[in-house]
């Protein structure tokens, strides 16, 4: 009993001492070195860095594989900051992604909030569809670890970020210091940011059918996220979002929603994405 209690106290002390965002970014900085040399991020390499920066092992409960996957995604962002995009960006990004492990171990939080980050090639295409320039203010309502935001940043845009998950928000504060960062339910982001500047571009990968504090599947989550973001968008702005393939103007269930949006916006592109690129697919561009 004494030994078990000592372990519990030790873990509590570690969680108090460690800066989660700093620890994840620290791991990512080391992993970036491998990516810059086109070396695969092996499980052994990732575990070694996680153990070092979190002062313990996954087996002892000091970190989860969810945290390790976050660090890998941050490493991709740091790579892009150092290398930028090549003349063949899709080829470059596909190669980069192939060096990273598949996210096979999901936490309960990831599943409940549908925290599935955007694959690099798709994130690039989403930003490309947004036609982003250095004159734009880009809002990402469900920022995650910041992959979409980074592609906007590569184009010189200013950023406004929102992320409900506290651990991910801690990472974002380290990655994007000085950038406005909110932590609200993006289904009502227009209401929460009522007195804030209107973005000229919104890039989104919202939960497809998950809402905070609602246990059951909620298909209305997607249109709620999009509708609120549309209201926050400035006149003449652009919104690009990744949605499930069932949320489409061609689906009779959602036709009325798209018709209603025509009162204040114009859907200019809706294109399917193969499941191989993303577990659930469908990309929507709205002006």
Residue 11 vs residue 41, higher pLDDT: 41
Q: What whole-number distance in Å separates Cα of residue 159 and Cα of residue 153? A: 7
Residue 136, burial from CB neighbour count under 10 angstroms (0-12, 13-18, 19+):
buried
pLDDT for residue 206: 87
Q: Which two tokens stand for residue 187?
A: 């289904």
**Cβ of 48: how many Cβ atoms within 10 Å?**
13
- For 227-248, how does the pLDDT look when each residue is reduced to its tens digit (9 = 90+)? 999 999 999 999 999 888 888 8
Domains in the chain (CATH in brackets) are 2-105 (no CATH), 111-286 (3.40.50.150)
- Nearest alpha carbon to residue 285 among 255, 254, 249: 249
Check pLDDT > 70 for residue 101: yes
In this structure, is the dihedral angle defined by the CA atoms of residues 199, 250, 122 and 87, taken in order, positive or negative? negative
* SS3 labels along the chain: CHHHHHHHHHHHHHHHHCCHHHHHHHHHHHHHHHHHCCCCCCHHHHHHHHHHHHCCCCCCCCCCHHHHHHHHHHHHHHHHHHHCCCCCHHHHHHHHHHCCCCCCCCCHHHHHHCCCCCCHHHHHHHHHHCCCCCCCEEEECCCCCCHHHHHHHHCCCEEEEECCCHHHHHHHHHHCCCCCEECCCHHHHHHHCCCCCCCCEEEECCCCCCCCCCCCCCCCHHHHHHHHHHHHCCCCCEEEEECCCCCCCCCHHHHHHHHHHCCCCCEEEEECCCCCCCCCCCEEEEC
Can you give the C-alpha Rg of the chain in angstroms?
19
Burial 237-268 (b: 16+ CB within 10 A, else e): bbbbbbbbbebbeeeeebeebbeebeeebeee
Mean pLDDT of the chain: 85
- Pair 262, 277: CB distance under 8 Å: no
Check pLDDT > 70 for residue 253: yes
Q: Tell me the range of 2-16, 114-128, 180-194 where mean pLDDT is highest.
A: 180-194
**Cβ of 134: how many Cβ atoms within 10 Å?**
8
pLDDT for residue 38: 96
Q: Record the pTM.
A: 0.85
Confidence of residue 7 (pLDDT cuts 50, 70, 90): very low
Residue 159 vs residue 11, higher pLDDT: 159
Strand order in the sheet with 283-286: 181-182, 158-162, 137-140, 201-204, 238-242, 283-286, 267-271
- For 59-81, how does the pLDDT look when each residue is reduced to its tens digit (9 = 90+)? 999 999 999 999 999 999 999 99
């Amino acid at each position: 009993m004494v030994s078990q209690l000592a372990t519990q106290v030790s873990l509590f002390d570690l969680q108090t001492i460690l800066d989660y965002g700093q620890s994840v970014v620290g791991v990512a900085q080391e992993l970036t070195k491998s990516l810059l040399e086109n070396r695969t991020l092996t499980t052994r390499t990732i575990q070694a860095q996680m153990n070092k920066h979190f002062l313990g092992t996954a087996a002892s409960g000091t970190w989860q594989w969810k945290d390790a996957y976050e660090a890998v995604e941050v490493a991709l962002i740091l790579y892009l900051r150092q290398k930028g995009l090549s003349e063949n960006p899709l080829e470059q990004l596909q190669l980069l992604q192939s060096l990273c492990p598949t996210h096979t171990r999901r936490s309960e939080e990831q599943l409940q909030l549908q925290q599935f980050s955007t694959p690099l090639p798709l994130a690039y295409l989403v930003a490309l569809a947004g036609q982003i320039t250095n004159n734009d203010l880009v809002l990402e309502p469900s920022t995650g670890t910041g992959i979409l935001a980074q592609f906007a940043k590569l184009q010189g845009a200013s950023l406004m970020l929102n992320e409900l998950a506290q651990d991910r928000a801690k990472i974002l504060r380290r990655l994007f210091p000085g950038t406005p960062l909110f932590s609200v339910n993006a289904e009502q982001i227009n209401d929460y940011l009522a007195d804030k500047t209107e973005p000229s571009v919104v890039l989104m990968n919202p939960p497809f059918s998950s809402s905070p504090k609602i246990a059951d599947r909620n298909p209305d989550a997607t249109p709620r996220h999009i509708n609120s973001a549309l209201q926050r968008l400035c006149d003449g702005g652009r919104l690009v979002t990744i949605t499930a393939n069932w949320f489409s103007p061609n689906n009779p269930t959602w036709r009325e929603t798209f018709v209603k949006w025509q009162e204040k916006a114009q859907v200019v592109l809706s294109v399917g994405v193969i499941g191989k690129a993303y577990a659930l697919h469908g990309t929507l561009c709205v002006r």
